[in-house]
Amino acid sequence: MSYKSSLLNKINNKSAVIGIIGLGYVGLPLALTFAEKGFKVIGFDIDENKIPILSKGKSYIKHIPSSRIKYQVSRNKFEATFDFSRLTFCDCILICVPTPLNDKHEPDISFVENSAKSVAEYLRPGQLVVLESSTYPGTTEEILLPLFANAHSGQNSKNTDHRSPITDHRKKFTVGNTFFLAFSPEREDPGNKEFNTSTIPKVVGGVTHNCLKVSCALYSQAIMHVIPVSSCKVAESAKLLENIYRSVNIALVNELKIVFDKMGIDVWEVIEAAKTKPFGFHAFYPGPGLGGHCIPIDPFYLSWKAKEFGVETKFIKLAGKINTQMPYYVVQKTIELLNDNRITINGAKILILGASYKKNIDDLRESPALKLIEILQEKGAEVDYSDPFISKLPHTRKYNFELSSIPLTSSSLASYDIAILSTDHDAFNYKLITQHSKLIIDSRNVFERKGIKSSKIIKA
């Protein structure tokens, strides 16, 4: 029996053990989805603080209920560990780690590289490895493949497989034969009630035909629609296109917001009118800036890679420039409104409503609210925030605010010179905010959508 046949048998009868590296917004729901389908799942994370929380069946992500984790832990289908030597017991290994940008807006794939090195250290014959982290075209074959192909059975691996039905005496692992390698971009949308991990179609690209067949077989066990493509590079590029498409179109409406504002035209009303066309138009909406784990970051991975081929990605760069300027536009509108009311920004008391990058979740990654706080503090304002999902702002790669969420009461709202709506959480009491705030900057058009109009509210 070949390694491919053996692994396919394990996948089809659900005896395959699945390892998930990275237990964040992508890895944790993926791990639980496979566990719910009957697979034994081992989750790996370098953050040792997460392990005891998960082992107790508790969640640290707002939209993932603890009951979901507790049930899989109780039935021994899911466990978490920081002991990467246990990778050798996994038949399929899925890498779901962050791919941020460095200070120069270049790809930081250190998390991917370190994870791949851990896999290579414990790689054994017959394993499937899939990278899910968003990255530039070529990452899977240029970085992961050489590491795994040079993993020596019994030498580079610290722990060999004693369950495998095959004995291998070759010096190097052969992709598509001894081990299998693929790329399948994550498509998680935290807080989306319409789609979840199992219902979002899964694009998969393999290094070889055998790699594609094995990886598609695995994902088909847990995900309703699996879309095979011809290569890892196509799968890597598809993820970038999805987010570049959104970045460029959001930049367009953000720019139009500024233009129409100068003309005395409401951009939100324009969009509502335009989207009545039943074909050829898809509505995108402006905001205080881009946030999340994909749209502010992924486009620059392609820009960086394109330089190798002497190509300049003008649309991507322009969209990035426009979107990163939006927090400054919101601050400028804030300064103008304060000036109209004889208040200077230096010393003004300002309340940011919403800290997460989008509504109804606790995800702070690349949130424009954090940039707003930074800019306002630099201008001398006293800044607080209120968010029902984030009780305290944690330290991040970029920011180190010592701030805790302010409860929204009539007295607390009245104590600030101005409130800036950054994230339109459904949990906010918008009538209370309108009644007791002195001035309001609305960057999401939420008050009008709620049917609330007041002369103290200015859109930005």
Contact 204/185 with Cβ under 8 angstroms?
A: no
Nearest to 208 by CA among 186, 237, 230: 230
Single-letter amino acid code for the residue at 271: I
Look up 216 and say whether it is catalytic.
no
Single-letter amino acid code for the residue at 134: S
Taking the C-alpha atoms of residue 303 and residue 312, their distance in angstroms, rounded to an integer, is 7
C-alpha 13: how far from its chain's center? 32
Catalytic residue among 92, 211, 232, 294: 294
Active site residues: 294
